[in-house]
Structure 1
Amino acid sequence: MKEKTILKLLFPALALLFLQSNTQAQEKDTIFRGLRIGADISGLMRYAFGNNASQYAFSLDMPLNKNWYPTLEVGYYQQNTQNSKLTYQLAGTYFEAGLDHNLIGVKDSTRIERDMAYLGYRLCFSNYNHKSSFYEITDSLWSPYTGSFEKQSNNAFWVQVTGGFKTELFQNFFLGWNVKMNIKIYTKTSSGIQAVYIPGFGKPSKNVNFGIGFSLYYLIPF
């Protein structure tokens, strides 16, 4: 009699434990796990439409937990301008590191969890140089002035607030779109001659710059 009573109590307990472990396993299977590698295609699109500048950027992100994703982006920018009044070259790299917060959160659908609608925060740095073998400045009152300058090194720091989407087109391949707001903290020039553009940031004459980007991603699952 005691054995039957024990079995009556033990069976529901084991069944409940099994259902709980099975539910946890299913939830675990739907959580995003892996390293997502991205390539920014915005710079290539601008270059294809005749821009005299080219930009290449690659990114990495992976989940820290259900909502936060550490992310790193490394980019390279190059500009060559040549006309009757100016011969100018600029080149440099930039780095952006921070966190993205997934606003969608964890749902039952695996697809929703792998997709992202996010807000992100970054600390950014750029090291770049520029030079001009010839430039001409014209003025209505004075005769034209011509000059040149050797390669000058510069660097800049800024913070970035970004938001966007990453959606899975098909298994492990994603398309992303984002808007960035860059807020300048500090710039340094070696000779006082400021470059026409800061890689990753934008125009140095502005303290705040905005940008739009498009990226393709591939997820390497763990």
Structure 2
Amino acid sequence: MIQRILLYILVFSSSCIAARAQVKKPALTPIDSSVRAADTTARKNVAEKKKPVPALPDSIYEVPGGIRIGIDISRFILKVFQPYRTDVSFAGDMRIKKDLYLAAELGFHSTSHSDSNYTYKGNGIFTTVGVDWNFLQKISNKERYMIYGGIRYGFAHLNYEAPSYTIYDSYWGDKLPGSFPKTSVNAHWVELILGLKAEVLKNFFLGWSIREKIKVSGPSKDLAFPPIVIPGFGSGTKGSQFDWQYTVSYCIPLGNIKVHVPRKAEPPKRR
């Protein structure tokens, strides 16, 4: 009995070994040489990307600089429509960077008006200071045409008086005469500007701009007689004022301004 059991165990073990021998391992597929070359190239590209790329030196060129000084001729045109007022305004700017300019204005104002209702006299000065940014892309570095936007801070000092005025009572028909003494007032405002300038002759420019002026502070609203005109701003009773300007100017050359253009490092060329 024991011998038969040992025989069965021996036969079963032999059959298991034979079955395992019949299971063959899968054959390895040969690697194509083109795939192997592509893998090698990819590894080289990754290695090259990891290497630091030296930066190239900046490009440097020059643009013409100078101080541009001009006069606003639109103030003379304004006198045709408002003959009681006289305004003289000078404008100037100086290039400090490729597209950035420092800008300023200085002017004088005088008003003299008289009619059956009142007489008025006033005079003062004003100044504005700010910057202009040129949006125009130039074909040549020597061009000085401008399409620009700007912002200004404005300040004015004014002396005015109304030696006589008459208030009419429409109900009773009475006349109430009076006078307003000489008074000094200051005004502050901000200007937003959009304009252009063109070089019509060498160093001679014509310029045109539109402006929105927003008053920050000015004569008190409690004044019995507010100023008719604030120098450089406009109406003495309004909080904002739309204006325009037309200038003729000359540029005094003061050398050139260097412009640095940083260059980006070029990527490595593929082999």
Same fold (TM > 0.5) = yes
Q: 1:162 to 1:220 in 2, by over 3 A?
A: same
Unaligned runs of 5+ in 1: 1-19
Aligned length: 196
Take 1:190 and 1:40, find their aligned partners in 2: how far apart are those partners?
31
Higher relative contact order (CA 8 A, sep 6+): 2
SS in 2 for 1:152: strand
Kept in 2: contact 1:152–1:190 (CA 8 A): no
Larger Rg: 2
Q: 1:176 to 1:129 in 2, by over 3 A?
A: same
Take 1:139 and 1:191, find their aligned partners in 2: how far apart are those partners?
21
Unaligned runs of 5+ in 2: 1-56, 255-271
Kept in 2: contact 1:153–1:189 (CA 8 A): no
Find out whether 1:202 has 2:223 as its counterpart.
no
Task: Pick from 149, 153, 159 the counterpart of residue 129 of structure 1.
Answer: 159
* Residue 46 of structure 1: how far off its partner (Å): 2.0
Q: Which amino acid aligns with 2:195?
A: G
Counterpart in the other structure of 1:89: 121
Kept in 1: contact 2:91–2:106 (CA 8 A): yes
Counterpart in the other structure of 2:133: 101
Could you list the runs of 4 or more consecutive aligned residues of structure 1 that deviate by over 4 angstroms after TM superposition? none
TM-score, structure 2 length as denominator?
0.67
TM-score, structure 1 length as denominator?
0.81
Find out whether 1:51 has 2:83 as its counterpart.
yes
Task: Pick from 251, 257, 268 the counterpart of residue 219 of structure 1.
Answer: 251
* Residue 83 of structure 1: how far off its partner (Å): 1.8
Find out whether 1:160 has 2:191 as its counterpart.
yes
Take 1:92 and 1:156, find their aligned partners in 2: how far apart are those partners?
11
SS in 2 for 1:62: strand
Identity in percent: 33
Provide the aligned C-alpha RMSD in A: 2.2
Counterpart in the other structure of 2:178: 147
Deviations 1:147-185 (A, max 9, x none): 112211111111110111111111111111110111111
Kept in 2: contact 1:67–1:105 (CA 8 A): no
Take 1:208 and 1:46, find their aligned partners in 2: how far apart are those partners?
18
Kept in 2: contact 1:80–1:88 (CA 8 A): yes
